Structure 1
Amino acid sequence: MQLTDYLDKGASLGGDSLCLTTNGESLTYAEAQRMSWRIAGALQGSGIGRGDRVAVLSANDPLALTCVFGISRAGAVWCPINPRNEAAENRQLLDLFGCRLLFFQEKFAPLVHRIRGELPNLTTWVCLDGAVEGATTFTEWLERSHREPDEVSPADDELCVLAGTGGTTGKPKGVRLTGHNLETATALTLMSYPFGDRPRYLAFAPLTHSAGVLTFPIMTLGGETVIMPKPDLGEFLRLVERHRITHAFLPPTVIYGLLDHPDLDSTNLESLRCLWYGAAPMSATRLEEALTRIGPVLGQLFGHRGTQHDLDPRARRPLPRGRNHCRGTAFVRGAADAAHPGSGDGRGGHPASPGERGEIVVRGPLVMAGYHENPEATAEVGKHGWHHTSDIGYLDEQNYLYIVDRAKDVIITGGFNVYSAEVEQALLAHPAAQDSAVIGLPDAKWGERVAAVVQLRPAQRAGEDELIAFVKDRLGSVKAPKQIEIWPDLPRSKIGKVLKPEVRAKLAGG
């Protein structure tokens, strides 16, 4: 399948139905479909052919998303570029991908000016919403390059998306996603979460990440996507009520802010059928609060590699207590497994027994087609025939999957393994804690000592000694932090993940 097939499916269910809405203005499916054909013809008129890379640098915007479908219809490859990245990282990605054309919004012109001289292969720059020196306006480009597009039928497993990793260190890598990858993700989403006729999806998070991929199942049902150009929790609540939103995706840190928002309890959220969350661990305590105040509609997403939701919004009730913080069941037993390292059997490990902790490894049609032009990294992550996630987890007797920690974040103190995520969950159970980060620091006595940084909730107070005692009471003295600092906020990546290398550097330096 091509990405444009999702738009075309929605159009076949009713061209006059609303497809994309922002700031009170809407495109119907027929209008979005016609625009995607015009964009495809203009791309081919600009010399873009099958398999060529075309990048989009934009905040959440209907025209930018329509360009994605035009890119697909032309047979080219969509390269989403995150505007929150540093200029150097975006230049590296555009160079790595070999992009030939870039669509961008006028407000990112300063970033474009900083990188364009270093990208000789990127010869066409198209500004979507204004006039920028050295670039063609979208309207001018569309008229000048327009031609009737040739239809392009995709080959099996043809590349359709090249996405930069959201990594926090080192050079960015390009994730190769095929039409089959996204077709599988869409099918699994449709069968695993509650949907009705013509759902209404609110895109709060960047469309360059999970929020964009989630538009595809919405379109297959002829649903409407309401796009927020910039994040605002008050506006999110107003739009949910005004548009009777049925589906949305939020990172956990944004859900924490939603729970602290003064308008939450007075907003009518009865239309919500599924509020997805993912991209970072979520506090079990705050998840319970969300279930009570937002409703039993939360569904968890774990990467691109297919585990079911950990709650049951279809039945409008949570899983039994104790499983609310799991990552769901594997779709097929063995599709997600916990491999215990060091078994010596030549395969790098053995399947872990129920309750035994090991690295989570996965395989199946959701797994990427490798890292772009990086065979070494591809081979490393796919060794022994499984995709290695670097997450430590375990399966229980009923095949429910729990993530314990990132492998690199396990702390060895006094000969004991301490999982930082477990300590973070204990800290987040404190009523004053908004978020936390736990790391290991070198220690002459223990080898490593458990250290933590805590961000407090608005208007809340808690001292370091109080928090240490709180964790010690729940986890014991070995796992309790030896030091805690209170910070007003935690350093985060572009998609909201806590940057532990920065936390570690600051604590070590202090």
Structure 2
Amino acid sequence: MNLAHFLRQAARRHPDSAAIVWGDRQWTWAELDRRVDAAAAVMAARGIGKGARVLVQARNSHQLIETMFACFRLGAIWVPTNFRQTPQEVAWLARSSGATLMICEAIFADHAAACAISATIMIGGDGPASYNALVADALVADDPGARPVETAVDYDDPCWFFYTSGTTGRPKAAVLTHGQMAFVVLNHLCDLMPGTTEEDVSLVVAPLTHGAGVHLLTQVARAAKTVLPSSDRFDAAEIWGLIEQRRVTNIFTVPTILKLMTEHPSVAEHDHGTLRHVIYAGAPMYREDQKHALATLGPVLVQYFGLGEVTGAITVLRPRDHHAHDGPGVKLGTCGRERTGMQISIQDDTGAILAPGETGEICVCGPAVFAGYHDNPQANAASFRQGWFRTGDLGHLDPDGDLFITGRATDMYISGGSNVYPREIEEKVLEHPAITEVAIVGMPDPVWGETGVAVCVLKTGHTLPADELLAWLKPRIASYKLPRRIVFWDSLPKSAYGKVTKAAVKTALCEHDRMLVHHSR
């Protein structure tokens, strides 16, 4: 099935119901379907057909959604960027993907110039090739001549180049396919949002070019309404206001954003009782943040663990498995159990499967696993072994099959011959009442090889000397795990998707140390 058929089905069954709401504007399912047909016709006229790559540089909007479905409908490959990337970074994506058409929001003219793709369509403004003009009312009229045929696709035909974050080098294009994504949609409906119907309302709280776009597909499959915030920057007050005004039932976000939302005073000023599924992913949520969110929102949290390469579908921690209080029978730190149709194994460096309780690399297989990286045989060879995809995350399974993530393999450091996993220490640090955020990284040490440096962010109005925090931490964790150095920053560097970027933390620490050495000379 062509993924764009989800939209066609919604338009047939609920033509006059709202599909997208953005500020004071809305588009029905029938209107959205016609606009996608028109956009596909415009793209086809520029030579886009099955297998062609379309680079899209734009912020969240109804037009961004239309580009996704127009690409799918043509059998083309959607190549969305992170709109916060620089023109040079996007130009590299254009070259590496082999894109032959660029759809670019007018405010990103510098990006379009850097990419220099001959076929370029500007959207969201009054430029010379305005997408708004191209899908004007005359073109989106219900005219059979303007309606392209839904391109036939196979299960393994690619539909989306999902670029990784590139924390260990250049971003890699994970190839997502029509069949794989259809399975993921069904899996999301089964494991994350059971009972979702056309009565549901979803609020977008993350870029649609990443996990939120997968979440959107799930809403379209059930003809659930999608609400877009007016601002392209995170605004907790606006989010809570929209949840109350639009009677939102589900949102998808990441732990750091959920933390900001539930700690913002506006949460107490608005009714959020319609929320049934508050889904967070991208990283495990620290326990103290999790307890606060549960106390604020009630039993509506849903966690899933997964990478872009597995489209998020590795584990699920359902609302009933979240607990607001610690105590007997509560499994602290688990990210849940295997998603429906998926399988996990913990493996050592040789590929041997480890027993419950033993820490190793988290590996996964099943229909949600991607088709491989585009034009990158070295990465494919390193990422697949004996039919398993190697996530690069470390963890262990307990006897019940619950997964516990220790951290990224690249986060682990070796101090005095002992492996140290920062996440365990970070969880302890966050129990201190003055700390709101922490990142622990291993830094070179002439004696121990590496030692831990804890970069902490204090809660507003708090002060805390480093030696006092270290004294508080000593009885709570083994001595070899204790950070040898504690520093305080106003904030931690985060990616465009709200995840703390430890590579950036290490870079900033190295630069700070270099400057100290320079000034001491």
Separation of aligned partners in 2, 1:433 and 1:184:
41
Distance 1:281 1:314, change over 3 A: closer
In structure 1, the partner of 2:333 is: 325
Alignment deviations for residues 445-496 of structure 1 (CA, whole Å, 9 cap, x no partner):
3221111101122233222122222322211322111101000111222222
| Map 1:243-258 → 2, pairs under 5 A | 243-258=246-261
Distance 1:157 1:334, change over 3 A: closer
Separation of aligned partners in 2, 1:92 and 1:359:
31
Contact 2:58 2:105 in 1 (8 A): yes
Separation of aligned partners in 2, 1:317 and 1:465:
31
Alignment deviations for residues 115-134 of structure 1 (CA, whole Å, 9 cap, x no partner):
134xxxx22211112233xx
- SS of structure 2 residue aligned to 1:409: coil
Separation of aligned partners in 2, 1:50 and 1:195:
34
In structure 2, the partner of 1:462 is: 464
After TM superposition, give the deviation of residue 431 of structure 1 in Å. 1.8
Contact 1:449 1:481 in 2 (8 A): yes
Contact 1:300 1:309 in 2 (8 A): yes
In structure 2, the partner of 1:162 is: 161
Kindly indicate whether residue 34 of structure 2 is the aligned counterpart of residue 31 of structure 1: no
| Map 1:374-453 → 2, pairs under 5 A | 374-453=376-455
| Map 1:266-305 → 2, pairs under 5 A | 266-303=269-306, 304-305=311-312
Instruction: Count residues with an aligned counterpart.
Output: 497
278-287 or 191-200: bigger deviation: 191-200
Separation of aligned partners in 1, 2:491 and 2:379:
33
In structure 2, the partner of 1:101 is: 101
Contact 2:4 2:72 in 1 (8 A): yes
Alignment deviations for residues 157-182 of structure 1 (CA, whole Å, 9 cap, x no partner):
11000121112242221110001121
Identity %: 32
After TM superposition, give the deviation of residue 150 of structure 1 in Å. 3.2
In structure 1, the partner of 2:518 is: none
Aligned Cα root-mean-square deviation (Å): 2.2
- SS of structure 2 residue aligned to 1:309: strand
Alignment deviations for residues 407-444 of structure 1 (CA, whole Å, 9 cap, x no partner):
11112112222101111111122222221111111223
196-205 or 314-323: bigger deviation: 314-323
Q: Which of 357, 364, 367 is the equivalent residue of 2:366?
A: 364
Contact 2:342 2:367 in 1 (8 A): no
- SS of structure 1 residue aligned to 2:167: coil
In structure 1, the partner of 2:487 is: 485
In structure 2, the partner of 1:242 is: 245
Separation of aligned partners in 1, 2:342 and 2:98:
37
Q: TM-score, normalization: structure 1?
A: 0.92
In structure 1, the partner of 2:131 is: 138
Distance 1:203 1:453, change over 3 A: same
Separation of aligned partners in 1, 2:341 and 2:51:
36
Amino acid at match of 2:31: E
In structure 1, the partner of 2:208 is: 207
Contact 2:154 2:178 in 1 (8 A): no
Separation of aligned partners in 1, 2:386 and 2:362:
13
After TM superposition, give the deviation of residue 142 of structure 1 in Å. 4.4
Amino acid at match of 2:242: L
Separation of aligned partners in 2, 1:140 and 1:333:
45
Kindly indicate whether residue 182 of structure 2 is the aligned counterpart of residue 183 of structure 1: yes
Separation of aligned partners in 2, 1:439 and 1:316:
29
Separation of aligned partners in 1, 2:356 and 2:242:
44
Distance 1:449 1:97, change over 3 A: same
Amino acid at match of 2:227: V
Please list every run of 5 or more consecutive structure 1 residues that lacks an aligned counterpart in the other structure: 342-347
174-183 or 98-107: bigger deviation: 98-107
Amino acid at match of 2:247: R
- SS of structure 1 residue aligned to 2:278: strand
Contact 1:338 1:393 in 2 (8 A): yes
Contact 1:472 1:479 in 2 (8 A): no
Separation of aligned partners in 2, 1:316 and 1:476:
27
After TM superposition, give the deviation of residue 324 of structure 1 in Å. 5.1
Distance 1:123 1:334, change over 3 A: closer
In structure 2, the partner of 1:45 is: 45
After TM superposition, give the deviation of residue 374 of structure 1 in Å. 0.6
In structure 1, the partner of 2:517 is: none
Amino acid at match of 2:344: A
In structure 2, the partner of 1:80 is: 80
Separation of aligned partners in 2, 1:485 and 1:60:
36
After TM superposition, give the deviation of residue 281 of structure 1 in Å. 3.1
After TM superposition, give the deviation of residue 497 of structure 1 in Å. 2.3
Please list every run of 5 or more consecutive structure 2 residues that lacks an aligned counterpart in the other structure: 140-144, 514-521
3-12 or 145-154: bigger deviation: 145-154
